[in-house]
Structure formats: structure tokens, C-alpha cells
Structure 1
Amino acid sequence: MEIKSLAATLAVALLAGACTSTPRVVAPTSAAEVGEFRAGTGILKGYLSPAELPDSLALLPPPPSADSPVLAADTATFLNLTKLQDTPRGAMAVKDADLHFPEAASTFSCALGVQISEQATPNLNMLLRRTLTDTGLATYKAKDKYVRTRPFVMYQTATCTPKEEASLAKDGSYPSGHSAIGWGWALVLVELAPDRADAILQRGRAFSQSRAICGVHWQSDIEAGRLVGSAAVARLHGNAVFNAQMAAAKDEIVKARAAGTPQSAACAAEAATIAGSSSMAP
């Protein structure tokens, strides 16, 4: 009996030790606690260190050459999609260009069926803010190597965000950072709400195609950006804080749905706008 009692005591002690040796990871929801990637920008630090980011230069081929069929297709798409700038789809593209929070938080609210904000869904909001940095930064090895000229610069045309043209002209076009971000967001949200996958992925695709409508990216930039965004999300799954924030965000979505989130007229209009322009996108 004494031996059995001793064994039971040791088992309890070992179990307690195992529990205390792996403390629960808590993901911060405060911007002040996370800190800015660059002071004064409002862009927060990502989950990944620079060394942990996927290598876009290793992942991607060089951008299309001047005489390639791919560049010919890029040009045709540019001429086709920029015609949408003065339509409701063009207005959506202007909205998609703005990566500043709190405005950007609502980008996927309709597709998700949940209002995303710092107040209503703090963990979900922080997921979007921090993955923006990881997915966007992951594009820069290739951007800085190739420094591809953007279509609006090559053709001397207007964009849907004229105030950004001077800075965009100095920034490499390949791959698209916005596309990496938007597709990365879509993949994260699909994992949190797989039943909304179709709507979320359609919105993610539309978000990246907005860059072609604005005339600031070639189609091949956009497709390369989606690949880099996918690679960044895959890397993020090895990060404990990201995984903890995902779990907390999933709980927020469940609670928000239980409380009821009726679809608005604006959401119906968004869906109609995406559907109406999808036939023009490659």
C-alpha cells in the first residue's frame, strides 16, 4: 500500500510539474504592448523576426521579360482593369488601398459575417494588424532585387490613389505587397471560419485585384504576392503568440455570431460589386 501511495504521489507531482513548465501563451491586444515596426507609422511589429520571414527572392522567378507572353498578358490586363476606376469597383479598389487601421479592419467584415474592430474583436483586429507586417515585409527581398517599374509609370497614366503615386513610383512593383497582405488575411480568416471560405477567398482575391484596377501593379505582381502571402501564413503557424491569438480570435467570432450580426445593405452591395467585376479579372 505504501509503494502504491508513493507512486500515486509521484505521478501527481510529475503531472503538476509538466503543467507548470509550459506556461500559457497570452497574445497581447494592446498596440502599445506590441510596439510599432517603425515609429510614427502606426504599423505594428509582426509575429515573425526578419530571419523567420519567407525568402521571396528564393520563392519567386524573376519578373517577366520585355518580350515575354506573360508581359503581353500583363499589359492586356492592365488596360482592361483600369477601365473600372470610375465605377463602384474602382471605389472599392480605393478603399482596399488603405492599409491604415482602424479603417482597414473592416475590409473582411462582410465576407466573415462579423464586424471586425479593436473594440468588438480585439484579438481578431490584432491578428490583421500584425500579419499585415509579416506578409508585407516578406515581399521585399524580391522587390528590392528586381525594382520592377509599375504599369502606371511605364504608361504615364493616372491611378486611383494619386496622392501615393510619387512614393509608389520609387517602390518596386514585383511582387505586390498589398496582394500578399490581402491574401494572407484571407487565409487566416478562412482557418478561423471555414464555413465562410468562399466569401472570404473571393474578397481576398478582389482585394489583390484592386491593385490592377488602380493601375499600380501588373497581374504577375499580384499572383506573386499571393504566393508570398501564403508562404508567410505557413511560417506564422510555427509562432506560439500567433497561434494563441488565433485561438482567442476564433472564440471572438463564435461569440459575435451568437450575439447576431445581420448583413447590411452595404454588404449586399459589396458582394454585388465583386460578382459584377469578376468576369473581367484573369
Structure 2
Amino acid sequence: MKGARLATRICGVIAIAAGAAGVAMGQAQVAAPAQSSVSPSDANKVAMAEIMRHGSYFPRGGAPNSLLYNPAPPAPGSAAMARDEEAAKAALALHGTPRWEQAKIDADLFTPKLTDTFSCAAGFRIGADTTLRVQALLFKAMMDFGLASYPTKNHYKRARPFMENGKAICTPDQEGILRKDGSYPSGHSAIGFGMGLILADLVPDRAGELVARGRAFGESRRICNVHWLSDVEEGRIVATTVFARLNAEPAFTADIAAARAELAEKRASLPVPDCARENAALAM
């Protein structure tokens, strides 16, 4: 259960509560109630249970220790902190814009929205109904990318931007747990950039687009007013380190091979998403 509780805390957004994972697991074992009777909170718990069902690639304690490569966050009054504050002010100017709305979408780490986030960058629809092996690979790796940020998060317990500036965040329902979850580094950024790296490996002709989307995914957390710029940047370092380590895991390399074979067989026939709205938002 300790591992399950940690899993529910990945980058704050999917942190429902300390015991929610256990509740979700129980709910996932029974038939889902009628759609009209399922609250968003309960639906999220069941979705989290589905994500956790995939497990992770690293054995317990096998992830690289982020404290070895994440430096301390910017100190108050430092030039680095001034840079973070300036970036936070710039992000506030985007509230209410299409980029803010995209940041809301990127805040959702639950299936199927998370993997679909990369569909435009990939050039085809990613999801359980189109690319099942890719979907399973990404969700399993998500656990490793997200949890790898926690040694640093728990060590520094950095306050988030909205706690300093008092401005709105794009997921007000998550404010309570985000206040208790360290800001540095961003686990959300680690997840997004890590998925971008995996997909770039699988679809090398779209590598630039996929890595850029992973970067923008993390930047959405800054737009949401829940992470500082340095949080997002160091989340990308977490992702890069974890991705390198994952390539030494036989289960990961086997799943990469299976996902690559799936795409070789199906890619030409996969549906192409409509990306006009997303492209316009990310261009802001």
C-alpha cells in the first residue's frame, strides 16, 4: 500500500488522497455503476486504478535518485528565483486564453486523455482503441517518470506559485493536495517529457514534434500557476535520466519492441486527429 499511496501523489494532479488508491482498486473490481451515478471524483479513482494496474518497470528502489542530479531549487532573492518570478508573471497573462484552456486539458493524467494529448504531435490517434500496446507502455512508464521526482520533492517541499501570488489555478479542485505536494521538480513535466521521449523513439520521423509536445505539456503546469519555471525544467531532467535507465530494463525494451511492431502494422490505417485548435493554442 505504501507504493500505491505514493503512486496517487504523482505530480499532485493525480493525488486524490492518501487512501484513494486503495478505494479505487476496490471499485475497479466491481461493475461500474450507471454513468449518471458516477461522480467525477469516483470516475477519477477508477481511472487511477486502471493506470496503476499496469504497474511500473523499475523494481522497488530501482529508479535513479533524483537528489543526485536535481540541484537545490532557486534560493529566495537569487537571480534564479527572479527568473522564476518573471516567468510566473508572464504565465499569469495567459489566464483565460486558449493556451490556458490547453493547460487545463494537459492537467488531466487519466486515461484516455493523457495519451491522446500526443496524437497531434504523432500524426495519428493514440489510445486504447487504436494503439493498445503503445497505450500500455506509456501508462506503465508514467509511474516511473512521475515517482522518480519524489526524493527531491519530499526533500525540499517547495511552495508552489499560487501559494505565493494568490492567483487562480487551472485545477481548483486539486488545490488542497497541491498545497501539500512539493513543487520542485514537476512530476507532471517529467511524465510529459518522458512520454515525448518514448514516442520519439517509436516514431522517429515525428521526433521533433513529439519532444516539443512533451515540453509544452510541462509548460502547461507553469501556465496553470502550479509550478515555477525551474520546476518544469528540472522535471525534464528527471525524465531524461529515467528514460536512460528504463532502456536497461528488459521488460521496457520488450514493450518498446512490441509497440514498434504494432505501429509498423497499423500506423498507415490509424485515424488522423483534427489539430487546428491545439496547434493554435500551443502557438501562443
Normalising by structure 2, what TM-score?
0.81
5+ long unaligned stretches in structure 1: 1-36, 278-282
Residue 235, structure 1, aligned to residue 253, structure 2? no
Q: Aligned match of 2:153 in 143, 148, 155? A: 143
Residue 276 of structure 2 corresponds to 268
Residue 175, structure 1, aligned to residue 182, structure 2? no
| CA shift for structure 1 position 260 | 4.8
Residue 81 of structure 1 corresponds to 91
Q: Aligned match of 2:61 in 47, 51, 56? A: 51
- Bigger mean CA deviation after superposition, 250-259 or 89-98: 250-259
Change (3 A) 1:107 1:260: closer
Q: How many residues align?
A: 238
Q: Which has the larger radius of gyration?
A: 1
Q: How does 1:117-128 map to 2 (within 5 A)?
A: 117-128=127-138
* 1:132-152 alpha-carbon deviations (Å, 9 max, x no partner): 100000000000000000010
Residue 258, structure 1, aligned to residue 277, structure 2? no
CA distance in 2: counterparts of 1:90 and 1:114, whole angstroms:
24
- Bigger mean CA deviation after superposition, 184-193 or 80-89: 80-89
CA distance in 2: counterparts of 1:85 and 1:197, whole angstroms:
30
Q: Report SS of the residue matched to 1:225.
A: helix
CA distance in 2: counterparts of 1:83 and 1:58, whole angstroms:
35
Residue 280 of structure 1 corresponds to none
5+ long unaligned stretches in structure 2: 1-19, 25-47
CA distance in 2: counterparts of 1:48 and 1:206, whole angstroms:
26
CA distance in 2: counterparts of 1:263 and 1:95, whole angstroms:
16
Change (3 A) 1:260 1:97: closer
Residue 207, structure 1, aligned to residue 233, structure 2? no
Q: How does 1:75-114 map to 2 (within 5 A)?
A: 75-114=85-124
AA aligned opposite 1:54: P
| CA shift for structure 1 position 169 | 0.6
Maintained 8 Å contact 2:161/2:225: yes
Identity of aligned residues (%): 43
| CA shift for structure 1 position 155 | 1.4
Residue 197 of structure 1 corresponds to 207
Maintained 8 Å contact 1:142/1:175: yes
AA aligned opposite 1:138: A
| CA shift for structure 1 position 214 | 0.2
AA aligned opposite 1:207: F
AA aligned opposite 1:274: L
CA distance in 1: counterparts of 2:60 and 2:229, whole angstroms:
27
| CA shift for structure 1 position 257 | 2.3
- Bigger mean CA deviation after superposition, 175-184 or 238-247: 238-247
CA distance in 2: counterparts of 1:272 and 1:252, whole angstroms:
31
Maintained 8 Å contact 2:130/2:270: no
* 1:50-106 alpha-carbon deviations (Å, 9 max, x no partner): 321011111111111001101001001001012212111111100111101122120
AA aligned opposite 2:281: T
- Note the aligned Cα RMSD (angstroms): 1.4
Maintained 8 Å contact 1:114/1:256: no
AA aligned opposite 2:146: G
Q: Report SS of the residue matched to 1:187.
A: helix
| CA shift for structure 1 position 273 | 2.0
Maintained 8 Å contact 2:125/2:273: no
